[in-house]
Chains A and B, each alone.
Chain A
Amino acid sequence: MKIAVCVKQVPDTWAEKALKAADSTLDRDAADGVMNELDEYAVEEALKLTEAHGGEVVVVTMGPERAGETVRKALSMGADSGVHLVDETLHGSDALATSYALAEVLKDRGFDLVMFGSESTDARMSVVPAMVAERLGIAQLTFAQKVEVSGPTVTIQRATETGYDTVEAQTPAVVSVVEKINEPRYPSFKGIMAAKKKPVETLSVSDAGLDAARLGLSAAWSQVEDFAARPPKAAGTIVVDEGDGGAKLAGFLAEQKFI
């Protein structure tokens, strides 16, 4: 089976993130870039599936040149090849534009499954997998905590607040995964060395046959008009117990509408 895994480079989860004053987009130089954590789970699951059923894993990313690091990381985990869509025109693309670009790159490549992490730690919208499925006209199996493939049938456990739903579709299909699904492997020494020799196809917007007018900040459906840094933590309120501490605490909680 042929599996595509879409991965995204995001700012290090623990780093202080910043927006650029010039265009209100993410300042990618302000923090180290890492592979979006949930995408690691998607890569791991794709590797497990091809280890069990045979086939190949192609990792696909859209992002600036530096996002190539994320492709190489997936290759060092064991993916077979990469596709990197990189172009200035893509800068500032919203979820609609991203899904358009990814779907165009993915279509006609014969993938049985297209896998995603269920959300990215920077934008946290969780919509791109569904949008890509819609654009490709194939089934979407999202929030998977378990994936099984049997012939042309793919079955997932879709995580819900109270448990899970069992959802089934025919390939080709989109699958997005949650962190319960597995424990991603470390890239191994041999994997890291081998990754240097694996093929990565670099595509520009025109290589991919994309319509530049549908991409980038100017085409985005939402605009950031203003932003401000998170306010510093204010000092806490100290309740001095003069025999009425309990009443004062209850009053404070009531005032804040906690009780």
Chain B
Amino acid sequence: MLLTEKPEYDDLRAGVRQVCADFDGAYWRGLEPDSYPEEFVAALTAAGYLAALVPEEYGGGGATITEASVILEEISASGGNPSACHAQMYVMGTLLRHGSPEQKQRYLPGIAEGSLRLQAFGVTEPGAGSETTRIRTRAERVPEGWRINGQKIWTSRALYSDLMLLLARTTPYEECAKPTEGLSCFIFDMRELRGMTITPIRTMMNHNTTEVFFDDVVIPADSLIGDEGRGFRYILDGMNAERILIASECIGDGRFVLERAVAYAGQREVFGRPIGANQGVQFPLARAYASLRAADLVRYDAAARYDRGESCAAEANMAKLLASDASWAAANAALDAHGGFGFAVEYDIERKFRETRLYQVAPINNNLVLAYLGQHVLGLPKSY
């Protein structure tokens, strides 16, 4: 039910669902407000799902982005929250495409076997959100490697990750011909470092997000990914994958709340008949279903383009926009359909309502998706 028909992924869905079946609503509720789902991540890792995107020669699954997206969707659809581990999927592109053979050999086998977690992605700063080129965290060459100073915010799972992918300025903004120059990407093991302080931030949903302070942190010289100064390009490469994967999580959220709402509306009787017989309850659910299916098709289109190595920026952005809007509308309709029970924690509706709301804003605000489409797809003047 509620799926775009893709029978070729039925076995994969069933496999993910079997892992998720051991982690029910009570498990996820028990983690609120801010505990990390260690047991779930361990089970998912042991079954190889978190190494799906690691190439087979490094011991991973060699999956396509479509397959990875099915994994995350199914976690959401089962009632779980894949945000605890999705970064390992979406930051992989930067390392795979631009990392040196030595870096891949150093980290990928460990990630594939589950002994290393790559879950932290340090980009956003208090003074630079969507305008990434304004970041001020500096990396300077020193004899021992690179010295990092600065501050990152909304670095999710930094306390539960071994490795970090970091974007930092190696040339100050003012000295660069173009704002996108002078940024560099680094990958390093956080566990060996001095001078890093990680502070959790309490948020509306359980997202394990943090603030990270770098105070004269020295990382090894071979932490640099690719060429110095080209980091912005390297990060952008991973963004489309991230958009597609987040869209898929939203589709899963939408399926979860809609299935619950449909079941409840069909069974809950008021004035002698099921509330689902009322158009005021039924139509928002029907509309949410239509929006989810439409978003799902764009998501598969974007993923297929990505897997074929084609340009997919417009489709990946549209998938994220449409899916996050659809899952939010579905969660809202589900909350209405459940009445007072929707607000009761044990129904999991209010939790999903909070979790899926995030994706209107992160990892990119939907307004910036519209700005991208307006400017780069439709050819209209820049709006910001």
Which of A's residues lie within 8 Å of B, judged by CB?
69, 72-73, 76, 185-193, 195-196
B63: chain A residues within 8 A (beta carbon): 189, 193
Find out whether the CB atom of B14 lies under 8 angstroms from the CB atom of A189.
no
Closest CB in chain A relative to B266 CB, distance in Å? 15
Query: Which listed residue, A72, A185, A186, A190, touches B11 by the CB 8 Å rule?
Result: A72
- Would you call B159 an interface residue if the criterion is a C-beta within 8 Å of the partner chain's C-beta atoms? no
Q: Are B47 and A189 in contact (CB under 8 A)?
A: yes
Min distance, Cβ B194 to any Cβ of chain A, angstroms: 37
Minimum distance in angstroms from B7 CB to a CB of chain A: 11
Residues on A with C-beta less than 8 A from B43 are 186
Instruction: Write out, one digit per residue, whether chain B residues 166-185 have a CB within 8 A of any chain A CB (1) or not (0).
Output: 00000000000000000000
Output the residue of B11, B19, B43, B46 with the most chain A CB within 10 A: B11
Given A189-B48, A189-B52, A190-B48, check contact A73 B61 (CB 8 Å). no
> Across the interface, which residues of A come within 8 angstroms of B48, CB to CB?
188-191
Does B203 make an interface contact (CB < 8 A)?
A: no
A196, B10: Cα distance in complex, Å: 12
* Chain A residue nearest in CB terms to B63: A189
A192 near B19 (CB under 8 angstroms)? no
**Do B47 and A188 touch across chains, with their CB atoms under 8 A apart?**
yes
Extra A-B contacts (16), CB below 8 Å, given A185-B47, A191-B15, A193-B67: A69-B10, A73-B11, A73-B14, A76-B11, A186-B18, A186-B19, A187-B14, A187-B47, A188-B46, A189-B49, A189-B52, A189-B63, A189-B71, A192-B11, A192-B15, A193-B63
Residues of chain B at the chain A interface (Cβ within 8 Å): 10-12, 14-15, 18-19, 43, 46-49, 51-52, 61-63, 67, 71
B14 to chain A: closest residue by CB? A73
- Residues of chain B within 8 A (CB-CB) of A69 are 10-11, 14
A189 touches B11 (CB 8 A): no
CA distance A177 to B307 in the complex (A): 44
In Å, the complex CA distance between A139 and B67 comes to 45
Q: Which of A76, A185, A193, A195 meets B61, CB within 8 Å?
A: A193
Please pick, from A73, A186, A195, A196, the residue contacting B47 in the complex, using a CB distance under 8 A.
A186
What is the distance, in angstroms, from B111's C-beta to the closest C-beta of chain A? 13
Give the complex CA separation of A182 and B63 in angstroms.
30
A130 to B49, CA, bound (A): 39
B49 (CB) vs chain A CBs: closest residue:
A189
The CB with the most chain A CB atoms within 10 A, among B10, B12, B51, is that of B12
Residues of chain A lying within 8 A (CB to CB) of residue B67: 193
Residues of B within 8 A of A190 (CB): 48, 61
Shortest distance from the beta carbon of A205 to any chain B beta carbon, whole Å? 27
Residue of A nearest to B18 (CB): A186
Are A195 and B11 interface neighbours, CB within 8 A? yes
Chain A residues, CB < 8 A from B18: 186-187
Q: How far is the CB of A259 from chain B (nearest CB, A)?
A: 37
Query: Residues of A contacting B46 with CB < 8 Å?
Result: 186, 188
A189 to B75, CA, bound (A): 14
| Chain B residue with Cβ nearest A184 | B18
